Structure 1
Amino acid sequence: MPRRALDNPIILPVLGLLLEQPTHPHQMLTELRRRSDAHAAAITRGTLYNTVAALTQAGWLAPLERQRSGNRPERTVYALTDAGREELVRRLDAQIRTPQREFSRFLGAVAYLGALGPDGAVEALTERGRRLRQRTAEDERRLEEALAAGVPRMHVIEAEYALSLARAEIAWVDSVIGELRSGTLPWPTGAMSELEEEDA
């Protein structure tokens, strides 16, 4: 098995989910997508089934039983092995201890913000801020509902972290908009200003 099969970023969420209880891949996919927008966008059925196969081959998961519901095909329920628990703890410890520079599409795009021109940049950032506020308000509501329903805070601590990041991004976006509107953010010269003139 290629080593890269065990480097997939969904491995940690899969191991963590199976720490809670044994389940079959279809339910894993549903639960991971329900818990995280990032997982919903990144995890396909094929990716998850390949990951489960790789984890089983590595000895971190083991088939527990087969279940059938109505006319649906049989589904294999998987459980975390002792080696899987050890790997989960090892990965968690390493990832929590060691900050990584994680590249995002927004980070890549904002590096060329000047190409939009001052008005275009303000318009785009204003729209981003509006959408972030909507999403953050919804995420806050869902978190409050979970806590009110008795979900232990430790089980939703990642939602708190995501909200902190979103609030920080909103504050940054607002500050850049303010600087663009006041003219205190110097506009680039050279290639970007020439591009702006071409678009005018």
Structure 2
Amino acid sequence: MDGVKRRAVSNPLGLAVLAFLLWEPMHPYELGRRLKETDKERNFKYNRGSLYMVVNQLKKAGFIVERETVRDTQRPERTVYELTEEGRAELYDWLRELMARPREEYPHFGAALSFVGVLAPEEAVELLGRRAEALEALAEEARAKVKAATDQGVAWVFLVEEEYRLEVLDAERRFVGRLAESLSDPDYVREWQRIFGSRS
């Protein structure tokens, strides 16, 4: 047990819904539009079904309530939700926990690294080279996004997740380079041949 609080709604998408409703009441369709407009889709994976499911979970937990039903001849009837005091408290408590407490995560790359020794050194080095190129492309994309937003006058505080992403990408790229160098070392290649050579 890592001391992380057990939450009534644990899906991170719930955090996004609570945060958007802090600004103003809105219906799920508008929530989805805001997530897309603000490019939060990278941090919160969702589709229409999962968004409505989380909204229902938050409602059941008492964190949001129905404020009104909007009827528009052009569109289906839509329910507008607003944050409750319990929802506001949950948002701040959840956000503070995520900001302050590191959590063990299980990325796919970590899973692959745990068995990298199974691959022939030259193949592992080639694959890492491809990963480094992909990481650089992602970093360039993030830099361009930050620059475009900054040029449009977006305040830096609304870009911190992209800055964080850039730091993580750069750190991973440096790590990948060092690992590829280590896997190319003749001593490692000989050791791999001794252990795995007959099995590959």
TM-score, normalised relative to structure 2? 0.84
RMSD between aligned alpha carbons?
2.5
Cα distance between partner residues in 2 of 1:97 and 1:105: 24
Cα distance between partner residues in 1 of 2:154 and 2:84: 26
* CA spacing shift, 1:144–1:185, aligned 2, 3 Å: farther
Task: State the number of aligned residues.
Answer: 193
* CA spacing shift, 1:142–1:70, aligned 2, 3 Å: farther
Do 2:121 and 2:189's aligned partners in 1 also have CA atoms closer than 8 Å?
no
Do 1:114 and 1:187's aligned partners in 2 also have CA atoms closer than 8 Å?
no
Spell out structure 1 runs of 4+ moving beyond 6 A. Answer: none
Given candidates 53, 65, 68, the residue that maps to 2:68 is 65
Do 1:115 and 1:193's aligned partners in 2 also have CA atoms closer than 8 Å?
no
Q: Which amino acid aligns with 2:104?
A: R
Deviation at 1:162, TM superposition (A): 1.5
Aligned counterpart, 1:49: 52
Aligned counterpart, 1:138: 141
Map 1:1-200 → 2, pairs under 5 A: 6-33=9-36, 34-39=39-44, 42-68=45-71, 71-183=74-186, 185=188, 193-194=195-196, 197-199=198-200
Identical-pair percentage? 33
Unaligned segments of structure 1, at least 5 residues: none
Q: Which amino acid aligns with 2:128?
A: L
- Per the alignment, in what secondary structure is the counterpart of residue 12 of structure 2? coil
Higher mean alpha-carbon deviation, 5-14 vs 64-73, is at 64-73
Unaligned segments of structure 2, at least 5 residues: 1-5
Higher mean alpha-carbon deviation, 79-88 vs 24-33, is at 24-33
For each residue in 1:121-147, what CA deviation from the matched residue of structure 2 results, as whole angstroms up to 9, or x when unmatched? Answer: 011111111111111110111111112
For each residue in 1:31-53, what CA deviation from the matched residue of structure 2 results, as whole angstroms up to 9, or x when unmatched? Answer: 334323242xx312222111101
Do 2:18 and 2:87's aligned partners in 1 also have CA atoms closer than 8 Å?
yes
Do 2:117 and 2:192's aligned partners in 1 also have CA atoms closer than 8 Å?
no
TM-score, normalised relative to structure 1? 0.84
Cα distance between partner residues in 2 of 1:77 and 1:187: 65
